[in-house]
Amino acid sequence: MEGKAWNFRANKAIDGSKLGIRTYIDILRSNIDHSDGRSVIPLSHGDPSPFPSFRTDPSAVDAVSEALRSANFNSYSSTTGLPLARKAIAEYISHDLSYKISPDDVYLTAGCAQAIEILISVLAFPGANILLPRPGYPIYDCRASFAGLEVRYFDLLPEKDWEVDLDAVESLADDKTVALVVINPGNPCGTVWSRQHLQKIAETARKLGTLVIADEVYERFAFGRNPFVSMAEYAEIVPMIKLGAISKLWFVPGWRLGWMVTLDPLHIIKDSGLLGSLENFLNMTTDPVTFIQGAIPDIIGNTKEDFFSSKLNLVRECAEICYEEIKKIPCLNCPSKPQGSMFAMVKLNLSLLEDIGDDMDFCCKLAKEESVFILPGRAVGMENWVRITFAVELESLIEGFARLNDFAQRHTKK
Ligand SMILES: *Cc1c(COP(=O)(O)O)cnc(C)c1O
């Protein structure tokens, strides 16, 4: 039947070339050879929650079920979050800090990912640019490109334990640079930066007149040489917005509870008007589920220190095994031993391999031949590297490396 042409079409601003991590994992999944009957070993994404050893604390589950049964949390939340949840998070974050955070500075979001979406949207003025780390976390890139915010990449330096290349930051920035994003503990590099480095980052941002977005979703998720120190310690130097969530430390990414915290002792964010924009923007977003917010005081209050220490001990052991196993495989090189988060960045030496073209080819063939998933480095901005997640059940990790080792030997030049 003849009719008017349709008025809708593909949206070019939603750029398929900027794939998220889950899209890459779908590609790996489509490569699996199901006929060999072996289980898939997922060393590709940072969600160990399905593994028995990484089940969340029972007290957190009780907190949620009690919040639900109380019938006190069936309503809409307020746009900034329930006061009791904001207060609990302010206290939680203040615990390791040299000063106290006010609940008024805490804004609740549906996971840390929504905090990123909100911030990028609010910061995307015409002509503005944002500095992102490479390697980094792809949601920043996807969101910035959709919002029309220009992205400029600064390198993290593998030979310096993945510290920020601060000279590059200085040369990239101009008076349209609205923010500098730093992720510590690091995804994808497994870094935990020193106090000195954090301070230098803050001083550099101050010099450039740019806001710092401190993605600390892996807050306290540190098990190596450097203790976790929050960027919040340097808020007197430069205004910042700190991001977090219960997703990683409690192993419940599906609960979708995150936050952003404005750290603005000198009222720079407030006086600039940005805070008002942020609060207005929150009026047009959805809120995290109310009963999870209602459970937050007990999730935080009733989870014993033992839970975290036993989980971090396990992750430390996994990281240790991962690092040692990588050393046994000649085509892999991990320049810096992971000290936090769940990941190691590993360089491929393709010249040792006979029929592997690049990181994507390596990961697809590994998925096909061994049913092991690791993430191609290009997913986080570095071609011919891979990101390996070590926070999985120990047996799976060991089996995964045995298969990886077989794979590497089979493809090594004779
Ligand atoms: C997982 C992760 C996020 C998103 O956190 P959610 O709470 O799952 O939305 C943001 N930033 C980094 C660096 C992450 O690893």
How many angstroms is it from 111 CA to the middle of ligand 1?
A: 7
Residue 1 in any domain: the answer is: no
User: Which residue's alpha carbon is at the smallest distance from atom 5 of ligand 1?
Assistant: 112
- Ligand 1 pocket test, pick from 44, 140, 248 with the greatest ligand atom count within 8 Å of Cβ, gives 248
CATH number of 218's domain: 3.40.640.10
Residue 200 in any domain: the answer is: yes
How many angstroms is it from 187 CA to the middle of ligand 1?
A: 9
Residue 146 in any domain: the answer is: yes
Residue 225 in any domain: the answer is: yes
pLDDT at 93 over 80: yes
How many angstroms is it from 194 CA to the middle of ligand 1?
A: 21
What pLDDT is recorded for position 338? 97
Same-domain check for residues 337 and 289: no
What pLDDT is recorded for position 12? 81
Residue 363 in any domain: the answer is: yes
| Ligand 1 atom at minimal distance to the Cα of residue 116 | 10
Task: Sheet containing 332-333: give its strands across.
Answer: 41-43, 372-376, 385-389, 343-348, 332-333
The last residue of one of the domains, among 302, 335, 353, is 302
d(CA 67, CA 295): 5
d(CA 260, CA 201): 20
Residue 4 in any domain: the answer is: no
pLDDT average, residue stretch 13-32: 82
pLDDT (tens digit, 9 = 90+) per residue, 60-91?
A: 999 999 999 999 999 999 999 999 999 999 99
Same-domain check for residues 195 and 291: yes
Same-domain check for residues 310 and 402: yes
pLDDT (tens digit, 9 = 90+) per residue, 292-323?
A: 999 999 999 999 999 999 999 999 999 999 99
Question: How far is residue 351 from each of residues 347, 355, 359, 392, measured CA to CA in Å?
Answer: 12, 10, 12, 30
Work out the pLDDT band at 1, boundaries 50, 70, 90.
low
d(CA 298, CA 318): 29
Same-domain check for residues 264 and 350: no
| Ligand 1 atom at minimal distance to the Cα of residue 110 | 9
- Residue 370: partners with Cβ closer than 8 Å, 6 or more residues away: 38, 403, 404, 406, 407
pLDDT at 23 over 90: no
Same-domain check for residues 166 and 47: no
pLDDT average, residue stretch 324-349: 98
Nearest to 231 by CA among 198, 206, 193: 198
pLDDT (tens digit, 9 = 90+) per residue, 195-227?
A: 999 999 999 999 999 999 999 999 999 999 999
How many angstroms is it from 249 CA to the middle of ligand 1?
A: 11
Pocket of ligand 1 (CB under 6 A): 46, 111-113, 137, 183, 187, 215, 217, 245, 247, 253, 258
The last residue of one of the domains, among 267, 285, 302, is 302
d(CA 337, CA 195): 18
Same-domain check for residues 156 and 33: no
Question: How far is residue 173 from each of residues 151, 323, 382, measured CA to CA in Å?
Answer: 11, 35, 21
From 14-18, 371-375, 392-396, the region with the lowest mean pLDDT: 14-18
| Ligand 1 atom at minimal distance to the Cα of residue 113 | 9
What pLDDT is recorded for position 326? 98
- Ligand 1 pocket test, pick from 118, 132, 137, 241 with the greatest ligand atom count within 8 Å of Cβ, gives 137
- Ligand 1 pocket test, pick from 162, 187, 241 with the greatest ligand atom count within 8 Å of Cβ, gives 187
Question: What b-and-e string marks burial along 291-312, b requiring 16 or more CB atoms within 10 Å of the CB?
Answer: bbbbbbbbbbeebeeebeeebb
Same-domain check for residues 128 and 183: yes
Work out the pLDDT band at 36, boundaries 50, 70, 90.
confident
Question: How far is residue 201 from each of residues 152, 183, 206, 258, measured CA to CA in Å?
Answer: 16, 12, 9, 24
Nearest to 27 by CA among 386, 356, 364, 371: 364
How many angstroms is it from 9 CA to the middle of ligand 1?
A: 31
pLDDT average, residue stretch 256-269: 97
How many angstroms is it from 115 CA to the middle of ligand 1?
A: 9
What pLDDT is recorded for position 33? 84
The last residue of one of the domains, among 302, 327, 345, is 302
Same-domain check for residues 237 and 355: no
How many angstroms is it from 160 CA to the middle of ligand 1?
A: 24
Work out the pLDDT band at 17, boundaries 50, 70, 90.
low
Work out the pLDDT band at 13, boundaries 50, 70, 90.
confident
Same-domain check for residues 181 and 205: yes
User: Which residue's alpha carbon is at the smallest distance from atom 14 of ligand 1?
Assistant: 217
d(CA 374, CA 397): 12
- Ligand 1 pocket test, pick from 107, 118, 193, 247 with the greatest ligand atom count within 8 Å of Cβ, gives 247
- Ligand 1 pocket test, pick from 22, 116, 217 with the greatest ligand atom count within 8 Å of Cβ, gives 217
Mean of the per-residue pLDDT values for the chain? Answer: 96
How many angstroms is it from 353 CA to the middle of ligand 1?
A: 34
pLDDT (tens digit, 9 = 90+) per residue, 128-185?
A: 999 999 999 999 999 999 899 999 999 999 999 999 999 999 999 999 999 999 999 9
Residues in the chain: 414
pTM comes to 0.96
User: Which residue's alpha carbon is at the smallest distance from atom 15 of ligand 1?
Assistant: 187
CATH number of 347's domain: 3.90.1150.10
Same-domain check for residues 77 and 122: yes
Same-domain check for residues 118 and 147: yes
How many angstroms is it from 8 CA to the middle of ligand 1?
A: 33
d(CA 223, CA 316): 6
How many angstroms is it from 50 CA to the middle of ligand 1?
A: 17
| Ligand 1 atom at minimal distance to the Cα of residue 115 | 9
Residue 264 in any domain: the answer is: yes
What pLDDT is recorded for position 15? 67
- Please give the tally of structural domains in the chain: 2
Query: What is the domain range of residue 320?
Result: 17-55+306-411
- Ligand 1 pocket test, pick from 47, 107, 112 with the greatest ligand atom count within 8 Å of Cβ, gives 112
Same-domain check for residues 220 and 123: yes
Share of the chain above pLDDT 90, in %: 91
Residue 86 in any domain: the answer is: yes
What pLDDT is recorded for position 414? 87
